[in-house]
């Protein structure tokens, strides 16, 4: 088969998104307003939650969740050691201590069997990550740490579910990303969900500088010329209506995108199952995978080359790959600041050194998937 050029990810955007953006451009309502509110309502309905609050990123969604919980100096937050760095960064940014927990390399998610020993009387929250679109084992987490608030880092997990309950409705807060590498995108942007009315109100206030009413409420109220009062110190984490308009269109395609990815993930698993050096995603019927990424694990004791050599060979053939993500405890800042060794979290170290994400997105066609499979087999 002729050489192809297959990026690790590409968003699916086009005429519908372009037309959607015209409305806020023509009305002049560009900041957070009616299109953001429509996006929030649709997202809440799809994920079976009472409140969905649009923000600037999943990182700011995580930050607001910690602030809404009252997490601060003297508190501890448990975070998986294998995740994107922002999951840990936001804990430090509210003045709390990061307590890393190892992950299960078979799922890349937090290992509930190691949670109990991490919980202390200072533990204010568990920040569990639904990595690559696979929900965490929520029952086991709640059993291991009963009563501890749970923040779902569902950056990769829009549309995913555990035992029929959507991501974002499984814990006290759910945090989502709409970065272009995610299933649906608004460019940058995020969402925080909750079923708690008090948290929902607090999140809405905090993301808008701490204002007692939103700009849209004030604009349409009887006295739009009167500025709102500010009872708390908040942040400017508002999503724009330009992003909200794109989000409305993208969300309408979410299930179609996931179904397409699930079809080709099944194809990968069938065709690549004969490679004894390649661990493929495995999970039970309890999980509805969101398939943000298709992440494998390379067994270098059986593989013909190292993980990095295999990635280089694929790149030479036009196939983009990436490590799944990084082990945060191995990044220079965390390793040096807190004197953490790579082997302190062996599961995360394995995932860091041997995981490999291969292309899985909705801009690929049948020939692309065949090419990836044939190239991997030829290695």
Q: Tens digit of pLDDT for each residue in 254-283?
A: 999 999 999 999 999 999 999 999 999 999
Q: What are phi and psi of 44, to 5 degrees?
A: -60, -40
Q: Where are the alpha helices (DSSP H) in the chain?
A: 15-27, 34-46, 58-69, 86-93, 138-144, 197-206, 215-220, 241-251, 254-272, 307-316, 332-338, 346-354, 366-378
Q: What are phi and psi of 337, to 5 degrees?
A: -70, -40
Q: What is the pLDDT of residue 170?
A: 98
pLDDT tens, position by position, 326-335: 999 999 999 9
Q: Is residue 33 over pLDDT 60?
A: yes
242 and 313 in a single domain? The answer is no
341 and 305 in a single domain? The answer is yes
62 and 208 in a single domain? The answer is yes
Q: What CATH number corresponds to the domain at position 361?
A: 3.90.1150.10
Averaged pLDDT, 107-129: 98
106 and 222 in a single domain? The answer is yes
pTM of the model: 0.95
Q: What is the pLDDT of residue 221?
A: 59
336 and 362 in a single domain? The answer is yes
Averaged pLDDT, 103-108: 98
Mark which of 253, 283, 305 sits at the end of a domain.
Answer: 253
Number of domains, the chain = 2
Averaged pLDDT, 362-368: 98
210 and 297 in a single domain? The answer is no
pLDDT tens, position by position, 67-80: 999 999 999 999 99
269 in a domain, yes or no? yes
Q: What is the pLDDT of residue 219?
A: 61
Mean pLDDT value across the chain: 96
87 in a domain, yes or no? yes
Q: Is residue 225 over pLDDT 70?
A: no
Averaged pLDDT, 215-239: 77
Beta strand 190-194 with 173-177 is antiparallel
59 and 198 in a single domain? The answer is yes
9 in a domain, yes or no? no
Q: What is the pLDDT of residue 116?
A: 94
30 and 137 in a single domain? The answer is yes
User: Which are the catalytic amino acids?
Assistant: 182
216 and 259 in a single domain? The answer is no
1 in a domain, yes or no? no
62 and 170 in a single domain? The answer is yes
33 in a domain, yes or no? yes
Q: How far apart are CA 167 and CA 49, in angstroms?
A: 10
348 in a domain, yes or no? yes
Which carries the bigger pLDDT value, residue 216 or residue 51?
A: 51
Which range (147-151, 207-211, 363-367) has the least confidence? 207-211
Q: What is the pLDDT of residue 222?
A: 65
Structural contact between residues 77 and 96, judged by C-beta atoms closer than 8 angstroms = yes
Structural contact between residues 191 and 49, judged by C-beta atoms closer than 8 angstroms = no
Mark which of 253, 279, 296 sits at the end of a domain.
Answer: 253
pLDDT tens, position by position, 176-213: 999 999 999 999 999 999 999 999 999 999 999 998 77
227 in a domain, yes or no? yes
183 and 299 in a single domain? The answer is no
Mark which of 253, 275, 302 sits at the end of a domain.
Answer: 253
Averaged pLDDT, 157-173: 98
- Domain extent for 290: 255-378
Q: What CATH number corresponds to the domain at position 25?
A: 3.40.640.10
165 and 219 in a single domain? The answer is yes
Q: What is the pLDDT of residue 212?
A: 77
């Amino acid at each position: 088969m002729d050489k192809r050029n297959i990026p690790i990810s590409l968003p699916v955007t086009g005429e519908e998104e372009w037309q959607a953006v015209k409305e806020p451009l023509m009305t002049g309502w560009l900041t957070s307003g009616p299109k953001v509110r429509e996006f929030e309502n649709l997202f809440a309905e799809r994920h079976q939650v009472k409140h969905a609050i649009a923000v600037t990123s999943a990182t700011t969604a995580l930050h607001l969740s910690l602030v809404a919980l009252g997490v601060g100096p003297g508190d501890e937050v448990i975070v998986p050691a294998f995740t994107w760095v922002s999951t840990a960064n936001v804990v430090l940014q509210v003045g709390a201590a990061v307590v890393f927990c190892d992950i299960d390399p078979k799922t890349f998610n937090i290992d509930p069997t190691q949670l109990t020993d991490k919980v202390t009387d200072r533990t204010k929250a568990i920040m569990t990550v639904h990595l690559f679109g696979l929900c965490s084992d929520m029952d086991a987490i709640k059993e291991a740490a009963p009563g501890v608030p749970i923040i779902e880092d569902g950056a990769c997990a829009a549309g995913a579910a555990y035992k029929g309950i959507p991501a974002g409705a499984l814990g006290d807060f759910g945090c989502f990303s709409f970065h272009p590498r995610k299933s649906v995108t608004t460019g940058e942007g995020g969402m925080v969900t909750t079923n708690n009315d008090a948290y929902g109100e607090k999140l809405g206030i905090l993301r808008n500088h701490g204002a007692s009413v939103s700009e849209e409420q004030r604009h349409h109220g009887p006295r739009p010329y009167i500025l709102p009062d500010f009872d708390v110190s908040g942040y400017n984490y508002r999503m724009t209506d330009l992003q909200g308009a794109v989000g409305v269109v993208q969300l309408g395609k979410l299930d179609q995108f996931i179904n397409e990815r699930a079809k080709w993930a099944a194809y990968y698993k069938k065709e690549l199952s004969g490679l004894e050096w390649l661990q493929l995603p495995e999970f039970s019927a309890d999980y509805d995978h969101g398939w943000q990424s298709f992440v494998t694990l390379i067994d270098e004791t059986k593989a013909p080359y190292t993980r990095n050599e295999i990635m280089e060979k694929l790149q030479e053939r036009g196939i983009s790959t990436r490590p799944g993500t990084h082990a945060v405890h191995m990044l220079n800042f965390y390793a040096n600041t807190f004197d953490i060794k790579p082997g302190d979290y062996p599961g995360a170290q394995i995932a860091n050194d041997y995981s490999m994400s291969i292309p899985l997105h909705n801009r690929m066609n049948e020939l692309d998937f065949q090419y990836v499979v044939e190239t991997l087999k030829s290695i």
